[in-house]
Structure 1
Amino acid sequence: MKFKTVLNAAIGFSLLVAVWQLIIVIGDYDEALFPPPLKVWEGIVSLILDGTLFTHIQVSLYRFLAGYLSAVLAAVLLGLILGRLPILWNVLDPVAQIIRPVSPIAWSPFIVLWFGIGDIPAIVIIFIAAFFPVLLSTVSAVRKVDKNYLKVAQNLEIKDFQLLTKIIFPAAFPYIANGLHIAVGTAWIFLVAGEMVGAQSGLGYLIIDARNSMRLDLVMAGIVFIGISGLLLDKAVGVFEAWINRLWGVRNN
């Protein structure tokens, strides 16, 4: 099964590269304006050899992990509590639904004024991007927990903290995991967008700097690594999800 998955991915990427090259040949585009795959590959190799790529990836990953993990921790804890307090959640839900669609980039003027420049603004943007998907999925998951579990816990006189950590959280985790996957994508997108706005390092800055130098081959190389990094981060969440499910004896469908 894994070999077939790898083979299908290889075929898909090969077709993508072939179509990419075909468009350039048919359209007779200038390499400086629409770099071909070989030119982009040379740009990737140059970024790897001079260490530039790893420097920017390291910075972006630090910002992402700081913002994403703090958002997940805060959103899960708050979601577990609000999911058990339906009256309070009914009051806060309209507020969350109004704030949630606002792009984190829209908050950037305030974020820069409040936190200055550097890593913190990007981390805050990632926090906002990841917080609401995880919060909403956690609240929804808690409210969907089988009532029979709660009745058994009540009969066994299980206290509130143990009820949350031993019963509600494990039962809700498969649904919470959906929010974790969504949050990875949104947080990574807005990290790159935030780095394009005011950062002096990171993958987003790499693309803007290459654009200013009219090195579109490096722009495309940056886009490739943004996509690959996002895929690997999502796979990492999947590995964590599978580990938690094995730990609790939950079977994946």
Structure 2
Amino acid sequence: MKTVLITGANKSIGFEAARQLLQQGYYVYLGSRDAQRGQQAVAQLRAEGLTQVELLTIDVTDSASIAAARATLGQKTPVLDVLINNAGISGGMSQPAVSTPIGTIKEVFDTNVFGVIEVTQAFLDLLRQSPAPRIVNVTSGLGSLTLHNDPSWKYYHVKGAAYAPSKAALNGYTIMLAYELRDTPFKVNAVDPGYTATDFNHHSGPGTVPDAAARLVKAATLGPDGPTSQFFSDDNLPGTDVSPW
């Protein structure tokens, strides 16, 4: 049975991705910063008959928490097949470049960038034991430098000095990581789940949580001939199948 760790999976897209992977036969370690909320999420999935799931308490901004989570998981399984770095924060809106407090920007980067890097590095040894390891970094179209310079883009005026640059940095890290692992069975990709109606955006997005989660699951379950070092998004460049970084 393949194993997957999903950070920030106690609600919304991460929770739905857990559900969909459980339905495909994966054993899910449901990552949650809040143990009580995580246990409630696990209980809900088990009540649906999806029993191959358990909580892994992990705060991606806390090195001690990450180390403890790695030690705990290592006692449960020698192999991790999939890591979905889903935990993220927006930092609130709006975020003017001329006035957003540096503390806000640091807080967003701590979760969206540095947290992803530290979690990935902590669990990489378990992923290396898998014959087909997959890393999925959950990003956003708002992290695309190309789109932010395109006045015709539908979200051109949605700017933010903390959130968007954090996702751009995450995209960059994804490329560097994929390059270093290019001659291995790893598939490392960044996935934009789309503008989805969740607590993250006060349920303002037009997309649905199941559709968003399915995008993560698709990248998590890529076959041996699947792509790596890619940015998956519905916001493709006009007239192409290429997603803009």
Q: TM-score range by the shorter chain?
A: under 0.3
**Structure (1/2) with the larger strand percentage:** 2
**Structure (1/2) with the larger helix percentage:** 1
- TM value normalised by structure 2: 0.25
Higher Rg of the two aligned structures: 1
